[in-house]
Amino acid sequence: MSSSGHGCPGADPVEAAELISRPRREDTRSARPSAQERFADRPALGHTVRVPATDETAEIDRVNRAGVAAAIALARQLGLPDADPQVLSSRGNLLVRLCPAPVVARMATLTAQSRREPAAWLAREASVAGYVAARGGPAVSPTSMVLPGPYWQDGLAVTLWDYVPPSPLRPKPAEAGAALARLHHTAAGCRAELGYLTPAREQISDGLAALERDDVLEPATLDALRTRHARILAELPESGRSIVLHGDAHPGNLLAADGGWCWVDLEETCRGPVEWDLAVLAGQSGDGAEAALRGYADTAGCALPSPGSLVPFTRARQLEAAVWALCMAHRYPARYLDGARELLAAALGD
């Protein structure tokens, strides 16, 4: 991806790309094999996590091949140069550079399994990133070569982005905090429909529905997680100013570009209290948490948040992480299962 170019902030990406809405997933478990036939049970510190008894390497290859084919087909339909695709990343989403064009196709692959409407998340991301980038803010821009989407192509939700060359550089904690403050400042005027605290609400509820649909957890464990979710939501403060949030503002979502540090992966962007983004930033900055928060405060011209003000949001983020990891482990256990087991135990206080 590249920081050059501008998005289309004046248009609704869903309408501009003529997105065809897809029905929400329905529960089809009655027509599917039993869990015993489809899964191998694995204990998770007192809780059973069922994962597919399949060849994980072959499944990753299948997803990548399907995604690359969809990216090539979409590029042709949009009149982009014949693509020589290069897979940049294949985790929650598949990122494919459409060489020689400076365009990256971002496709919801694993994320689509845990969200009722995956294209809506991509649409919100394109809206906010396009708005910020067009105003010189710290976000990688959706492509300006064609409408950025989201599109439906071969069953996948796809958005198109500028290409930023890879860099070994990583932000210092204070730099990450400063970049987040600049993002918040630049995004302040964005009028897109974003929802409220989407990561703490829909991301968790949709993920739990997916875990139930796919028979990943025992009913008692699902009930415990839903009870925990309801308690956490009830504890979140409802007062305070609501701003446009990144939603997943950890240092790993910053890329070094010509103009400085730029944010990517804004799929979880929403409106809500600043404490959500600060809790995510601090929680994933390790020993640099205080420096990251100070970098934010110095750039934003505000006081450092009190430790207690972030606690309810940190709890919500930890539950989100546990549900997310379980959804990922269901598809790719070798990558995610061990971490998911630990997060599940922590979320339920085991």
Q: Determine, yes or no, domain membership for 147.
A: yes
Cβ neighbors of 172 (< 8 A, separation 6 or more) are 288, 291
* pLDDT tens digits, 100-127: 999 999 999 989 989 999 999 999 999 9
Does a structural domain hold residue 30?
A: no
Residue 30, phi then psi, degrees to nearest 5: -65, -25
Question: Is 315 contained in some domain?
Answer: yes
Asked, for residue 51, whether it belongs to a domain, the answer is: yes
Domain around 239: 37-347
* Residue 108 included in any domain: yes
* Reported pTM: 0.85
Instruction: Tell me the pLDDT band of 4, cut-offs 50, 70 and 90.
Output: very low
Is residue 22 assigned to a domain? no
Per the listing, tokens 């997933």 go with 25
Number of domains comprising the chain: 1
Task: Give the HSE-up count for residue 144: Cα atoms under 13 Å, Cβ half-sphere.
Answer: 16
Tokens of 16: 């501009």
Q: How many CB atoms lie within 10 A of CB 104?
A: 25
- Is there a contact between 226 and 347 (Cβ–Cβ < 8 Å)? no
Q: What is the CATH number of the domain that holds 110?
A: 3.90.1200.10
Average pLDDT over residues 94-100: 96
Position 53 scores a pLDDT of 65
What are the tens digits of pLDDT across the range 206-242?
999 999 999 999 999 999 999 999 999 999 987 678 9
- Tens digit of each residue's pLDDT (9 = 90 or more) over 185-213: 999 999 999 999 999 999 999 999 999 99
Q: Is residue 20 part of a domain?
A: no
Domain contains 27? no
Torsion angle of the four alpha carbons 185, 190, 195, 197, in this order, in degrees rounded to the nearest 10? 0
